[in-house]
Structure 1
Amino acid sequence: MSTMTDKTVAVVKGLIMDGVAKANSGHPGGAMSSADFATILFSEFLNTNPDDTDWFNRDRFVLAAGHESMLLYSLLHLKGLLSADDLKSFRQLGSLTPGHPEVDMTPGVEATSGPLGQGFAVSVGFAAAEAFLGDKLGSDVMDHYTYALSCDGDIQEPVALGAASLAGLWGLGKLIVYYDSNKIQLAGPCCKVDCTDHRKVFEGLCWQVLEVDGHNHDEIRKAIKDAQLETSKPTLIIGHTTMAKGAATMEGSHKTHGSPLSAEEITATKEKLGLPAEDFYVPEDVIAHFRSRDDGLRQNAAEWKAMVESKMSDAKFAEFWGHVTKPRAELSIDWPEFTPGETMATRKAWGACLNTVSASLPTLVGGSADLDPSNQTQVFRDTYGDFGVDGYGSRNLAFGVREFPMAAIMNGLQLHGGVMPFGATFLTFADYCRNAIRMSALQELPVLYVFTHDSFWVGEDGPTHQPIEHISSLRLIPDLIDLRPADANETAVCLDIALKQEKHPSTIFLTRQGLPVLDPAEYPALPEGPRKGAYVLKDCDGTPDLILIGSGSEVSLCLETAKLFKRKVRVVSMPSAKLFDDQPDSYKNEVLPPEVTARAAAEAGRTGLWYKYVGLNGVVLGLDHFGASAPGKVLSDKYGFTPENFARMIREKY
């Protein structure tokens, strides 16, 4: 062993091989090729607090190549955050070392890696949050780097390049991505699927690009230092490496990507690396070397804390710091009032709400995927400027036509903390965002997805732009709050619900077409009812003969339909199936009495999920086919979204 760093890297590789072998599952090859860079980064550069993994000004590290998880777990073990038993439980039920890093399970893990490409985009969100808060709080308070470890497959996912384009435009100089270019992926050599010159691509995306021998420690150190010195551009460090570097006979083999090394190969490799044959070998001198900076890191964190406390005498700083650190549930938001009887699209109600509350929520940041006027974010943009382009204190994130990167970047913003992110686009483009929305729910991130133009009422743009299955599809994602308000007043309540969430992401579905603004004086349950997901909007005397259930634009349809019956009719507004399903059975039976079996529901989308509420023999007015290009009113008549047709369907059944 020529140096302690060499010995530490060898020990890390031994842990990688042993962990994967014991689990008989995992990815040793890439983890071994990335080990030199990651070990140097963690032991020599990463600024953290050894006693507090949540210290706010810590450097962030995102393992975008999540399948290399045993590398990260080995480093966290050397930091003292995971035990040897944790490493031995790799990929086992209930362990702190799952197959891919999970942010809610393992201390020191900053983000759930998830599918390739998203970790890269998440790191852009981290860096954007740091830049914004650094502008607002001062660079002495927010002054940290975001590092990401990427790989060939990660870079191949288009979401990564979309996020990279924004990072370059925004000039995120404290974003440093290491690309472990071992030129091997699961199915074989990368040359069979990729001819990209990544230097040219990333330089074209306004990045600084550095190329190093990913196994040369001096070149790695110099590249990290040079990346830190470039303050106006993000940096991509391309580390040219060898798959499974150090392996006795399998260096460069794609077979090491997703399969354990054999016992014989591991034994021979340990001998080659100068390690004893014992499993999970970690000598004390390696631990001492790896933690040699800990006392200095502790002192740095303590000085930072004292500095922040000294700034609290500045009323302006203290007020903004309060917004950064206050729990969402404690927010007090004054929403606008709307005039009953007027007609207003719920997307315009959202815009009015955004414009009213944005000044009192200074950490609310976000924007639209190139649909600012349609999504009603244009006033927000004009008022607060475009982040990066107009300065780092600007609050509008102009995402361009990049829905998937937008959603993944929002996750990074929320994971960083201190900001409240939202992103907006048409509902039909939610499919582009879907996997990042799923990752929001999986990581318990209370981001807000604003989806306008929520039905065939989009009209003339035609079937490609008219969502049919999208709301039902999104309702299938666990722990995702669906919000489809019936009018402007419900829109405000739904936004209040979303912004006060601590753990759940929210999707709000908003209309293009105007809807009547309901009068709270006539419907007294309206101001608080949406918080329980569904509520009795208009009731009758005694037990109803018929219950009509609607969401969004179809609530007003239900109210009009009810007038066509001489029977006792109850109208239920259900802006959120998720929130209603979470209520106790006593409340659900109060809203939908089991003895009342004559039920009908209306929503301008797929019908299937509504039978849960109306029963298998109930009536559902919906749309189980694609739309057409025509004015919305024409389509409404064609598809039977009229009180007369809805009443006819109900009479034929009951």
Structure 2
Amino acid sequence: MTQMDKTIAVVKGLIMDGIAKANSGHPGGAMSSADFATILFSEFLNTNPDDTKWFNRDRFVLAAGHESMLLYSLLHLQGLLSMDDLKQFRQLGSRTPGHPEVNETPGVEATSGPLGQGFAVSVGFAAAEAFLREKLGADVMDHYTYALSCDGDIQEPVALGAASLAGLWGLGNLIVYYDSNKIQLAGPTCKADCTDHRKVFEGFCWQVLEVDGHNHDEIRAAIKNAQLEKSKPTLIIGHTTMAKGCASLEGSHKTHGSPLSAEEIAATKEKLGMPVEDFYVPEDVVESFRSRQDGLRQNAADWQAMLETKLKDADFAEMWGHVTKPRTELTIDWPEFTPGEKMATRKAWGTCLNSVMDSLPTLVGGSADLDPSNQTQHFRDTYGDFGVDGYGSRNLAFGVREFPMAAIMNGMQLHGGLMPFGATFLTFADYCRNAIRMSALQKLPVLYVFTHDSFWVGEDGPTHQPIEHVSSLRLIPDLIDLRPADAMETATCLDIALKQKDMPSTLFLTRQGLPILDPAEYPNVTDGPRKGGYVIKDCDGTPDLILIGSGSEVSLCLETAKLFKRNVRVVSMPSTKLFDDQPESYKNEVLPPEVTNRAAAEAGRTQLWHKYVGLTGVVLGVDHFGASAPGQILSDKYGFTPENFARMIREKY
């Protein structure tokens, strides 16, 4: 038995023991991937043993997140997790949760678990590395991104969409290992898949290498060959056996999602040449695994010394400042708008983007093939398409790939140094939804720009007219919803989003023109959105009626208020999330509890607004699908007029 054989046997023992103690987990895939992952971590991965956030470290994404006990075992051998951590696998409050979580465990680069997204996230890591390498120099930024994928991971279409972009962009520093054990939870993959992955990925412009995933020399050679290929990402297909090394369950799908029995574990350890002892880690395995660490420390120290020298150059120092400056410290000069004119908030977003893009050189992003509609065309034309026009180009031409777009942005944000945004029509937010959820879960300040935010889209009809989408996205915890009332609010909402530290933002923008509000008449319009909801138009004394509007319906509320002779307060609420997070005293100041005559308007589902107007309060909204017709005709048909809104209120109050 070689030292590597012994190390891998120890890793497999930890996998089996941790899962058995938790009585929950996925041993089979973790054991089939153990050869590759152990060799990668012990012989190839370039890290700083004393700083898991070292800027130029190699990134490793466990796309097959259910194999988490494999990663935790390797992190233990690295010295980042204790034995007690391994013994607390899947327990409340532990550093070893069921799937890797980036904010819980040192050495974990991304929260993974939803299959397909880890693959796409690794593409985002590699894209960020390529951009920063171009901007900072290869001596500062030149690392590999590795991902460990699996059959189920590759089956998710989001992975294939991201793979297509990675090939187009020529991300040579991306190396994905596909553990092809041909087993998934329900049984053999042949029951659900007939894909020739070599043909598919070569068609995506990848280098494809195939190895025996249990042959250590073939694994080492494949990693070295992948590192040498600089113009294409590499897929290493490792042909493996599920639960490799098991005494009687090798190749069985029963090992995918269930702990092994005590008897099977004991027999397997005997087969692997190990003592039956639980959580067995001999000192020679630890010493061998960490034998590179002094060299890695020196490498990181040399890099730091080189960086200090480069920082003496003013141009480099300026760019380095943009890369490393906390977003909360950004100072952004937003454009001015002319009160009284009409402008769609999507146009206001485009105006803002065009105005600040030169001063924010790490702002990168693009549209899912809707550049003119999403107002990103000038950004694209100015800076070029990333990968196609060079790695310093800032526009990401995602194509019609909304889900990969969102997951790739998560990877770019996780990498660090960039401010990613992505845009599409709001009705297609459903395609992005799980990645948006992962943005919130991982505390990533990614910006999602959703235009064409209501039935005002018009002639494109119900397939393109969002109804439930804003309300649906508001259900995701720790996601900032931003639906500005005009161009002034749009600039403020963007300022809020770009200065976020740990929450993603969704910007909901109109296709139709809206009147630009005059700060002289509405003095709170510029800063009010920072608290989510604010009084945009007040009355003398205690209001008899409060009207609440969001986005395009704020103007409707202002016009409706003019039709009443009693005291009416109008509240603009661009963000229910930010408003709900305010102190109770502020919320009561804006919406006094004693004023129960309330009405709300939003061109979307009505249910959420009863939280603010009461169960029996008036809500003007849309609880049905739209129709193909000009927006103004639909507005009249659905009652989005001051006269109809006033009628509804008078009938109630």
SS at match of 1:177: strand
SS at match of 2:427: helix
Partner Cα separation in structure 2 for residue 649 and residue 319 of structure 1: 57
Deviations 1:561-616 (A, max 9, x none): 00100011000000000000000010000000011000000000000000000011
TM-score by length of structure 1 reads: 1.00
- Paired residue for 1:36? 35
- Paired residue for 1:277? 276
Partner Cα separation in structure 2 for residue 314 and residue 517 of structure 1: 44
Alignment-mate amino acid for residue 644 of structure 2: N
- Paired residue for 2:525? 526
- Paired residue for 1:307? 306
Partner Cα separation in structure 2 for residue 421 and residue 413 of structure 1: 7
Partner Cα separation in structure 2 for residue 614 and residue 321 of structure 1: 49
Partner Cα separation in structure 1 for residue 308 and residue 503 of structure 2: 31
Aligned counterparts, 1:234-273, within 5 A: 234-273=233-272
Deviations 1:538-563 (A, max 9, x none): 00000011000000000000000001
Aligned counterparts, 1:453-602, within 5 A: 453-602=452-601
Alignment-mate amino acid for residue 503 of structure 1: D
Partner Cα separation in structure 2 for residue 205 and residue 457 of structure 1: 38
Instruction: Give the CA RMSD over aligned residues.
Output: 0.3
Alignment-mate amino acid for residue 528 of structure 1: D
Partner Cα separation in structure 2 for residue 460 and residue 587 of structure 1: 41
SS at match of 1:460: coil
- Paired residue for 1:431? 430
Deviations 1:361-394 (A, max 9, x none): 0000000000000000000000000000000000
SS at match of 2:379: helix
TM-superposed deviation, 1:527: 1.2
Partner Cα separation in structure 2 for residue 302 and residue 478 of structure 1: 40
Partner Cα separation in structure 2 for residue 609 and residue 226 of structure 1: 55
Deviations 1:126-185 (A, max 9, x none): 000000000000011001000000000000000000000000000000000000000000
Aligned counterparts, 1:43-58, within 5 A: 43-58=42-57
Alignment-mate amino acid for residue 22 of structure 2: A
SS at match of 1:168: helix
Alignment-mate amino acid for residue 569 of structure 1: V
Aligned counterparts, 1:86-485, within 5 A: 86-485=85-484
Structure 2, unpaired ranges of 5+: none
- Paired residue for 2:71? 72
CA contact (8 A) 1:9 1:35 kept: yes
CA contact (8 A) 1:560 1:643 kept: yes
Partner Cα separation in structure 1 for residue 179 and residue 197 of structure 2: 12
CA contact (8 A) 1:271 1:277 kept: yes
Partner Cα separation in structure 2 for residue 19 and residue 393 of structure 1: 45
Partner Cα separation in structure 2 for residue 356 and residue 302 of structure 1: 40
Which of structure 1's runs of 4+ aligned residues deviate more than 4 A? none
TM-superposed deviation, 1:617: 1.4
Partner Cα separation in structure 2 for residue 532 and residue 443 of structure 1: 23
Partner Cα separation in structure 2 for residue 435 and residue 241 of structure 1: 30
Partner Cα separation in structure 1 for residue 633 and residue 308 of structure 2: 63
Alignment-mate amino acid for residue 452 of structure 1: T
Aligned residues: 653
Alignment-mate amino acid for residue 154 of structure 2: I
SS at match of 1:588: helix
TM-superposed deviation, 1:513: 0.2
TM-superposed deviation, 1:74: 0.2
Partner Cα separation in structure 1 for residue 546 and residue 270 of structure 2: 75
SS at match of 1:461: coil
SS at match of 1:391: coil
SS at match of 1:246: coil
Partner Cα separation in structure 2 for residue 411 and residue 651 of structure 1: 48
SS at match of 2:276: coil
Partner Cα separation in structure 1 for residue 242 and residue 185 of structure 2: 11
Partner Cα separation in structure 2 for residue 174 and residue 382 of structure 1: 27
Alignment-mate amino acid for residue 473 of structure 2: L
Deviations 1:506-536 (A, max 9, x none): 0000000000000011111111100000000
TM-superposed deviation, 1:114: 2.7
SS at match of 2:154: helix
CA contact (8 A) 1:114 1:439 kept: no
Partner Cα separation in structure 1 for residue 308 and residue 343 of structure 2: 47
Partner Cα separation in structure 1 for residue 588 and residue 18 of structure 2: 51
Partner Cα separation in structure 1 for residue 241 and residue 458 of structure 2: 55
Greater shift, 292-301 or 518-527, is seen at 518-527
Partner Cα separation in structure 2 for residue 529 and residue 20 of structure 1: 51
CA contact (8 A) 1:368 1:423 kept: yes
- Paired residue for 2:62? 63
Partner Cα separation in structure 2 for residue 188 and residue 58 of structure 1: 37
Partner Cα separation in structure 2 for residue 638 and residue 86 of structure 1: 61
Partner Cα separation in structure 1 for residue 528 and residue 340 of structure 2: 20
SS at match of 1:589: helix
Partner Cα separation in structure 2 for residue 182 and residue 289 of structure 1: 28
TM-score by length of structure 2 reads: 1.00
Alignment-mate amino acid for residue 125 of structure 2: F
